[in-house]
Structures are given as C-alpha cells and as structure tokens.
Structure 1
Amino acid sequence: MTNGLDHIVHAVRDLDAAADLYQRLGFTVGARNVHPWGTHNRIVQFDRFFIELLTIGEPDKIPPPRDGVVSFGALQRDYLAVREGLSMLLLASDDAAADLRRFTAAGIAAGDLFSFGREGRRPDGSVVKLQFSLAFARDPLSPQTGFAACQHHYPENFWNPEFQTHVNGARAVTAVVMVADNPTDHHIFLGAFTGSRDLRSSSIGVTAGTGRGDIDIVEPVSLRDQYGVTVPSVGEGASLVGLRIAADDLAVVERRLRDHKVPAARHVGRLIVPDVCGATLIFEQGTVR
C-alpha cells in the first residue's frame, strides 16, 4: 500500500548543469548514477523523499515500449523532447506488487511490475546494494505525466542523514503542486492512485493527503495567485509544476539565492524560484508535519 510521497523525477537535458544549479540553491547533490536502460541521475535527498535529477545519458540503450512493459527511459526521452521539468511522481510503497493489483482493479495500471537494482555508495565510500520495484499508473486525462508507486527493498542502504543536510536549511518536501484547467476531472484518478481517503475539493482545486506530503492540483489562476507563476499550456490534463519545501529560515534561503545570483521573489509569505530547469521551487518557513 502506498504511504506517502517518495520521489519526483526532474527531467533535465544537462545533468551536471542542473546539479550545479541545485547546489547554488543550497542543496546537497549526490554523484552521478548510471542506469542500464540509458538514463543517468543525481539525487537530492530529504528524510524519506528525494528529487531525482535525471537525463538521457545513453540514448542507444533505451528499450522501446511494448505491450505490457513500460520503458522508463522512453518516457523520459519523450518528455525531454518537448520540455525540461517534473516528469513523474512516485509514491512510497510497502508492496509494489500489491499496488499494481490495486491499480489494475481501478483501471489505472500502466504495464507490468518493473524491478531493478544497482550499487550505491555511502559517504565513507563503501558500496551497498540498492533495489527497487515500480508499479506504474496512468491518468488517461494526463498522458504527458508519469505516475508510479516505488518500493525500496533495502531502504536502510538508500536513506542517509548525511545526504539530507542542506546549507539552505531545507528540511522536507511538504507538497507536490500540479496544474490543470479542471482539477476536479482528476479527482477519481487521484483517489485511486493515492488510495487516500483524505481528498479535499474546492472551487480552485483538489488536494490529496498521502500521509507524508500532499498532492495539490490547482487551476492556472490559483497557481498564479498562490505562487505568482504562470506556466504555458503543455497539453491536456494535469501536469507537475512545482514542489513546496519547508525550510528553517526563509531569510537564509533568500541570502543564499542572492549570493549565488539565482532569481527569486517573495510572494504571499513564500520564497518562489520560478524556473529551475522547468520546475518551480516554493520555499516555505515552518516545521515539517
């Protein structure tokens, strides 16, 4: 069963340049990892959530999609052919196979279970085993946005407090922000995907509480009013726009951005960084729930 936000894929064309920008923002960024299906990534880790900076490193290795099998590399390649930005949202799973059965019963499954492993490296240089299983889901109204549940088979080897300390004082991602012309059109999918009974609808959007972080789908006018940003239309359905990040002190974040010449603006008590390789980062001062 899914039990909170796990990570988000931030698809970028230049992985090292994106990592440098995140470092200028004040985040700790991990080393480059290589996947056998052609993608490379670098990770920004929090307590039980991470941002996966991902690019196409070896396009010749990307397997083509086929019936019943999702090609993760092809999804990211096709996304990057149009834009950079947040391409996929993944929830934490205790049992990805069970989540796939749940997605299938709800009519939102997108392919078979996808399992893979790789080596990881601790801060002291020691090598550890990592393995994951993904159950993909699909919102029929949002073909350009990826969704999945992710099970960590060796979570003790992945999560590490030394990677979760950031000089900007960021502590956690508290919400994923999406935009759609008609957020309520995605109410049924959002409930089936999250399994959440904590769905709240209003005149401006839909929110799903996941137990660890929210998913907010808002109208474009609400996105502008709440965060001061306007995004171009990228097709039908709901698209991933930004992350809300809890930080110890917004003044510290603001000083860091100013010193490293990263454009940002205050808006309704938040600090908004509007274009981080196609994504919006929304810093908020406050404690983590």
Structure 2
Amino acid sequence: MPGGLDHLVHAVRDLDAAADAYQELGFTVGTRNRHPWGTHNRIIQLDGFFIEILTVAEPEKIEPHRDGGYSFGAFQRDYLAKREGLSMLLLASSDAAEDARSYAAAGIGEGDVFSFARQGLRGDGSAAQLGFSLAFARDPLSPDAGFGVCQHLHPENFWSPAFQAHANTAQAVAGVVMVADNPTDHHIFLGAYTGQRDLHATSSGVTARTPRGDITIVEPVSFRDQYGVDLVADDTGARFTGLRIAVRDVGVVERLLQQNAVEATCHLGRLIVPDLFGATLIFEQGIVR
C-alpha cells in the first residue's frame, strides 16, 4: 500500500526563474538535473518529501504515450501547454510493482512501472547513484492532474540533512490541496489511490490523511475561506492548487518575504504566497506528523 506524500511536481516554463523565486522564499534549491526524456528539474528537500520544480527543456526528446506505457514527459508537456502549476503528486512506495498491480486491479492504473537511474550529489558534494521506480494512476475525471507512487532505490544517496536546511525554517509537508466543483466525485479514486479506506468528508470537501501529509479536495469557495485566495474550478475535474508547508517559525518566513519584497498575506494564522508560477504556497506553524 502506498505511504505518505513523497513529492509534488511544480511544472514551470522557466526553470531557473522558478528556482530563484523559491530561493527568495527562503528555500535551499538544488542544481539542475537532466532527464534523458527531455525534462529538467531542480529539487527542494524537506523531511521525507521534496518539491520537484520541472520544465520541458528538450521537447524533441519527449516520448509519446503508448498502449501499455505512460509518458511522464508527455504529460508534463501537455500540462504546460495549458498552464504552469502543481501538475503531479507522487506517494512514497516500498514496492512500485505491487502498487501498479493494485492500481490496475482497482481500474485506475496508468501504464507499466517506469524505472530510471541518474547521477546525483550528496550533501558533501560527492557523486552518488540515484534510482527510482514509478507507477502511475489516473483519475478519469481529472485529466490535468497526475498521480503516482515513487520507490527510491538508493534512498541513502538521495535524502540529505544538508539539503533540508532552509532559511525559512521549513521542515515538513503538511499537505496538498486540490480544487474541484464537486469534491465528492473524486472520493472513490482518492481512496483507491492512497489505499485509505476511511476518508474524512465534510460539506466542503474530502481529505485522505496519509502517514506524511494530507490530500484534500475542496470547493473553490472553501479554498478562498481557508487560504484567502480566489480560484475558479474548470471543466478538467480536480486540480492541484496549494502546497501546505510546516515551518518552525512563521515569523521568520514573514520577515524574509518582506525583505525580498515577495507578495504574501496572513490568513487564519497562515502565511500565504498566492501565485508562485501557478501554485499557492501555504506556510503553517509547527511540526506535523
């Protein structure tokens, strides 16, 4: 069964500009990585979770979707043709092949397991071999939202306390937020995707509580009430809109953003950055489970 949140893809058209914007928010951002299928990324690590800032840098290398195969690059390319923003969520997996079989049995599977390796850097700057196995899922009502699991094949080479030290005191992911006109339409998919049988449902939305962070789907009016940001749902079902980040000291974040002239608002005890390349970043006080 999938575990907690592993990473969230933030698809952008200008990778370095987006990385600079994250640095102005006080994050430590990794160097550029290149994938052989045409996407490039830069990574921000938290405790057991990372933000993958990603762009399609070499479109000629993008592989198309095929029968029995899912193209990560083609999904990101098609997403960026419409908008920038939070394009895909991946949960932690201890066995991507088993999760792929479970998704297929539930009728939400999207292609075979996709495995790849690349060179990375440890916190001390030395080279390290990295490897990942991904399995994807599809919500048929939300074609513009990507879902999957990620199994780290060499986790000891990937996670680094040095990369998790941030000037804004960010520590962990608290959750991701999606917006949809009818959140309950996605209740069955969310349960099958996360493996959570008992979802928390209210009049304004539905939440899956994972071992590392929540996945919440709310109506646009609820997103406005909770975070002070007006959004409009579209006809593409649920889409990722917000990332909730637990920080040690919201006051430090507020002072840093003021110093860097970053637009932000305080709302219900949270600090909100309303439009970071199509995403809403939500800073919250305290350590989460």
Whether 2:284 is the aligned partner of 1:284: answer yes
Matched ranges for 1:119-134 at <5 A: 119-134=119-134
SS in 2 for 1:81: helix
Deviation at 1:196, TM superposition (A): 1.1
1:1-289 aligned at under 5 Å gives the runs: 1-289=1-289
Distance 2:59 2:281 in 1: 29
Which consecutive aligned stretches of 4+ in structure 1 deviate over 6 angstroms post-superposition?
none
How far is the alpha carbon of 1:235 from its aligned partner?
2.8
Q: Distance in 1 between matches of 2:123 and 2:150?
A: 24
8 Å Cα contact 2:11/2:85 also seen in 1 = yes
Measured in 2, the distance between the counterparts of 1:197 and 1:211 equals: 14
**In 2, Cα distance between the equivalents of 1:115 and 1:287?**
32
Aligned equivalents of 2:76, 2:146: Cα separation in 1: 9
Taking the aligned partners of 2:71 and 2:187, their CA distance within structure 1 comes to 27
Which region of structure 1 is more displaced relative to structure 2, 20-29 or 123-132? 123-132
Moved more, 32-41 or 69-78: 69-78
- 8 Å Cα contact 2:123/2:161 also seen in 1: no
Structure 1 residue 149, shift from structure 2 partner: 0.7
Greater CA drift, 146-155 or 230-239: 230-239
Distance 1:148 1:69 in 2: 14
Task: Give the RMSD, CA atoms, in angstroms.
Answer: 0.8
Whole-Å Cα distance in 2 between the matches of residues 281 and 67 of structure 1?
Answer: 36
For 1:6 and 1:70, the matched residues in 2 are separated by 20
Deviation at 1:286, TM superposition (A): 1.5
**Deviation for aligned residue 1:288:** 2.2
CA distance in 2, matches of 1:86, 1:280: 9
Displacement after TM superposition at 1:287 (Å): 2.1
Question: How many angstroms apart in 2 are the aligned matches of 1:273 and 1:232?
Answer: 17
Q: CA deviation at 1:197?
A: 2.8
Which amino acid in structure 2 is aligned with residue 216 of structure 1? T
Q: Secondary structure at the match of 1:3?
A: coil
**Alignment-mate amino acid for residue 266 of structure 1:** C
Instruction: Please give the secondary structure, in 1, of the residue aligned with 2:82.
Output: coil
Amino acid at match of 1:76: Q
Asked if the contact 2:56–2:73 (Cα under 8 Å) also holds between the matched residues in 1, the reply is yes
Where structure 2 has 5 or more consecutive residues not aligned to the other structure, the ranges are none
Q: Deviations over 1:178-199 (max 9, x none)?
A: 1111111111000000001341
Q: Partners of 1:180 and 1:8 in 2: how far apart?
A: 18
What letter corresponds to residue 287 of structure 2 in structure 1?
T
- Taking structure 1 as the reference length, what is the TM-score of the superposition? 0.98
Task: Report how many residues are paired.
Answer: 289
Please tell me the residue identity of whatever aligns with 1:267: H
**Structure 1: runs of 5 or more not aligned:** none
SS state at 2:115 partner = strand
Q: Which amino acid aligns with 2:263?
A: P
- Residue 108 of structure 2 aligns to a residue whose secondary structure is coil
Counterpart residue type for residue 123 of structure 2: P
Q: Tell me if the contact between 2:172 and 2:287 (Cα under 8 Å) persists in the aligned partners.
A: no
Q: Give the superposition deviation at 1:238.
A: 0.6
Structure 1 residue 173: Cα displacement: 1.0
Pairwise CA distance, 1:8: 0.3
Q: Distance in 1 between matches of 2:20 and 2:234?
A: 26
Q: Structure 2: how far apart are the matches of 1:274 and 1:228?
A: 8
